[in-house]
Structure 1
Amino acid sequence: MKILYICTHNRCRSILSEAITNHHAQGIIEARSAGSQPAGEVHPLSLQYLQETGYAVDGLQSQSWDEFEDFAPDLVVTVCDSAAGETCPLWFGKSTKVHWGLADPSKLQGSDEQKKQAFLDCIEQIKTRVQALVEIARSQPDQKTLIEQLANLGAQ
Structure 2
Amino acid sequence: MTYLAKSPWIIHYDASSCNGCDIEVLAALTPVYDVERFGIVNTGNPKHADVFLVTGSVNEKNREILKNTYDLMPDPKVVVAIGICATSGGIFRECYNVMGGIDKVIPVDVFVPGCAARPEAIIDGVVKALGILEAKRQAMNDRPAAAAKPAGDSV
| TM-score w.r.t. length of structure 2 | 0.40
The structure in which a higher percent of residues are strand is 2
| TM-score w.r.t. length of structure 1 | 0.40
Higher Rg: 2
The structure in which a higher percent of residues are helix is 1
